[in-house]
Copies of this chain bind each other. A is one copy, B any other.
Amino acid sequence: MTDPESLADRVRDGELRIHELEEYADHDVAAAARRLLVERETGADLETVGEYSFPAERAEPNIENMIGAAQVPMGVAGPVPVHGGAADGEHYLPLATTEGALLASVNRGLSVIRSAGGADARVTKHGMTRAPVFRVDGVAEAAETVEWVEDNLGALREAAESTTSHGELLGVEPYVVGDSVYLRFAYDTKDAMGMNMATIATGEACEVVEAETPASLVALSGNLCSDKKPAAINAVEGRGRSVTADVVIPGDIVEERLHTTAAAIAEANTRKNLIGSAKAGSLGFNAHAANVVAAAFLATGQDEAQVVEGANAITTMDTRAPADGDENAPADLYASVSLASLEVGTVGGGTKLPTQSEALEILGVRGGGEPAGSNADALAEIIAVGALAGELSLLAALASRHLASAHEDLGR
């Protein structure tokens, strides 16, 4: 009685609950039973959802109540030379998306970057954070708690690091609001994105805080972390990796390949990405960095909800005097993208799933790096270069369309 039909019947009849099916059948059968149940109840046909290409059991750490898989088209852009702190050499960038034209746009950008010799990239800050909130009686106790924390970082480190073989506590920053105390713990989580590692380690440290101070834990996350919310604290102080990619595109390449000028691109960037975003009250001073972040995250098994913080990015575009000193040459274009809080890992989470793992292989960063953390650094750097390509391509399109229409105007 553990075939899909029987199991579906038994859930319908209230004998089993929908999340218990794996106790009665293997994971693939359980998923089939759920599809059957849902098909009966809703009239939907879930044939393609059921045509996933991996043993359902392999997805156990990633999902409950599994019915199958969403299939999202994946393409590649590149290759592009990346001169990073961790990444090096030519890379194809795998992107999964349903947004038409995105791959073509990034590909064009990467191609231009390649013509310019490749892009530089650096992780300039790192640290996965978790910030519990404690209740105190009032500000007198809050001040006492803050003082204790500042004086006892060693004890907190000992507790936190007792829970992990890899992670290291980088620091703890206290914040006081009335009778709430927030402690923002930051960790080096090496090649893991590290949210779970940080949560477990912080949980252990919280017990020390509760034992030694008047503070009482209310929630292990008090939103100053800040995970999956568009918060200034991440845009300012970073979370995961703060990473920048940049490139100088010679003026003749701008003209030949992007059909516009460095000055026109810089103007579009200033009016749109800087001033427009300023007026919009934005934490995102870019054109569409989130597109590349989301598509790269999806391809490589990152946490899709963390695209929210990945979008805390600033794009700059400026003219530079031609490198060769020729006064009559068109100006070069300096372009950069700085992603404040890109949370990525090459181990754990969704990275072990088959298609995601294969995508990481394309990038040469599957699994733990040598030294530890270098694979995740490299992944961050390559994604940043991809975002830079997307910005370049879109800004150039906007600028050249304008130039085109300006030319038409003149032609009248």
Give the chain B neighbours of A353 by CB distance below 8 A.
71-73, 98
Q: Is the CB of A231 within 8 A of B277?
A: yes
Measured CB to CB, the closest approach of chain B to A84, in angstroms, equals 9
Measured CB to CB, the closest approach of chain B to A156, in angstroms, equals 18
Scoring A220, A235, A288 by chain B CB atoms within 10 A of each residue's CB, the highest score goes to A235
Partner among B61, B293, B314 whose Cβ is within 8 Å of the Cβ of A177:
B314
Give the chain B neighbours of A62 by CB distance below 8 A.
73, 97-100
Once the chains are docked, how many angstroms separate the CA of A336 from the CA of B179? 8
| A interface SS class | mixed
Q: Is the CB of A100 within 8 A of B283?
A: no
Q: What is the oligomeric copy number?
A: 4
Once the chains are docked, how many angstroms separate the CA of A306 from the CA of B146? 26
Measured CB to CB, the closest approach of chain B to A278, in angstroms, equals 5
Given A232-B281, A338-B176: A124 in contact with B142 (beta carbons within 8 A): yes
Once the chains are docked, how many angstroms separate the CA of A131 from the CA of B279? 12
Q: Is the CB of A53 within 8 A of B51?
A: yes
Contacts of A206-250 to chain B: CB distance below 8 A: 210, 216-224, 226-237, 242, 244-246, 248
Give the chain B neighbours of A74 by CB distance below 8 A.
49, 63, 66-70
Q: Is A307 an interface residue (CB 8 A)?
A: yes
CB-CB nearest in chain B for A273: B223
Measured CB to CB, the closest approach of chain B to A362, in angstroms, equals 5
Q: Is A115 an interface residue (CB 8 A)?
A: no
Measured CB to CB, the closest approach of chain B to A191, in angstroms, equals 17
CB-CB nearest in chain B for A315: B178
Measured CB to CB, the closest approach of chain B to A75, in angstroms, equals 4
